[in-house]
Amino acid sequence: MSASLSISLRRAKANKKLISMSQQGENVSFMDKLDSFIDMAREVVEIAPPDDPDRIIWLHELGNTLRRRFTDTGVLADLEDSIKVGQEAVDTAPNDYIHRGALLGSLGAHLAIRFAKTGSLPDLERAMQVTRQAIDVAVDSDDRAARLTHLANHLGERYKRTGSSIDLEEGIEVAQSAVELTPLDSLKRLGRLNTLANQLHARYGRTGILEELNKVIDICRSITKAAAEGSTNHAVFKSNLAGHLGDRCLRTGDSNDLNEAIQLAQEALATLP
């Protein structure tokens, strides 16, 4: 490794540590250190030989940090750059690269965010493609479940755009698979059940079959009960359950559903900042 590259790596690592410190509440400007880390990572990428394994890592880190800065500033150029360097990381990595799934997962996230920002369907299509590839190289069941959940969300988004029942059914199938791969005592199970409930609710909207809505309500009750009292997720889960109960009240006229929906909505609002 050249002396200049070694120095750049040390500087980049130091700046990354400072970012971590600022997130922990230390007296460090987060945005300044974020900017500095991006500058250092760009320097590493520029100096490193194309076949240097460290370069892949820093392309990956650079892409994720650019995406983080985009979420804070809304500057689209950062998101565009995150996709560019994320794609370069994937293209540079060997097919048997141990962290290939992480590279693909990050690229899929970059693309999905740009789709949410611009509504460009090709971005969603590409996000789905790389997420499927990430599933194929998942390192364990939890990694696979996380990727499946992302795919379910992407399929749900495409269903909203195209109305394809194929996407809807696959979204339900992969969301169910993600839940089945998740241990019963895992906190991640709640979010994955929520994704499944969202997909099932979309199918209820298509079919109007009341049993579908009943299943959604049962799932949402279970995750609302299991979520930590007073947490943001708990408020979201209560709000979702309230909406589904409201839907059922409209179908059945059951005032108990309406009363419970109102109570849950009020509780959710009361816990929000």
* DSSP three-state, residue 166: helix
38 domain-assigned: yes
Q: How far is CA 256 from CA 2, 78, 213, 249, 253, in A?
A: 72, 49, 16, 8, 9
Dist CA 173 CA 157 (whole Å): 15
Identify whether 53 is part of a domain: yes
pLDDT at 36: 86
Q: Domain for residue 209, yes or no?
A: no
Residue 31: per-residue pLDDT: 84
Q: In angstroms, rounded to a whole number, what is the distance separating the alpha carbons of residues 144 and 111?
A: 19
Mind listing the pLDDT tens digit for each residue in 208-243?
999 999 999 999 999 999 998 878 899 999 999 999
Q: Cβ of 63: how many Cβ atoms within 10 Å?
A: 28
pLDDT of amino acid 29: 72
Q: At 79, list the tokens.
A: 């998101």
For residue 82, tell me if it sits in a domain. yes
| Full-model pTM | 0.88
The answer to whether residue 8 sits within a structural domain is yes
What pLDDT tens digit does each residue of the chain (273 aa) get?
554 556 466 556 656 655 665 555 555 578 888 888 898 889 889 988 888 888 999 999 999 999 999 999 999 999 999 999 999 999 999 999 999 999 999 999 999 999 999 999 999 999 999 999 999 999 999 999 999 999 999 999 999 999 999 999 999 999 999 999 999 999 999 999 999 999 999 999 999 999 999 999 999 999 999 998 878 899 999 999 999 999 999 999 999 999 999 999 999 998 876
Task: Decide if 159 is inside a domain.
Answer: no
Distance CA 115, CA 138 (A): 24
Question: Which domain CATH number covers 32?
Answer: 1.25.40.10
- Report the domain count for the chain: 1
Does some domain include residue 237?
no
What was the pLDDT predicted at 54?
Answer: 87
pLDDT at position 134: 97
Neighbour tally for 97: CB within 10 Å: 16
Give the residue numbers spanning the domain of 25.
3-137
- Residue 210 resides in a domain: no
The two three-digit tokens of residue 85, written as one number: 């360097």
Over pLDDT 70: what percentage of the chain? 89
CB 69 within 8 A of CB 81: no
pLDDT for the residue numbered 117: 96
Query: Tens digits of per-residue pLDDT, 131-154?
Result: 999 999 999 999 999 999 999 999
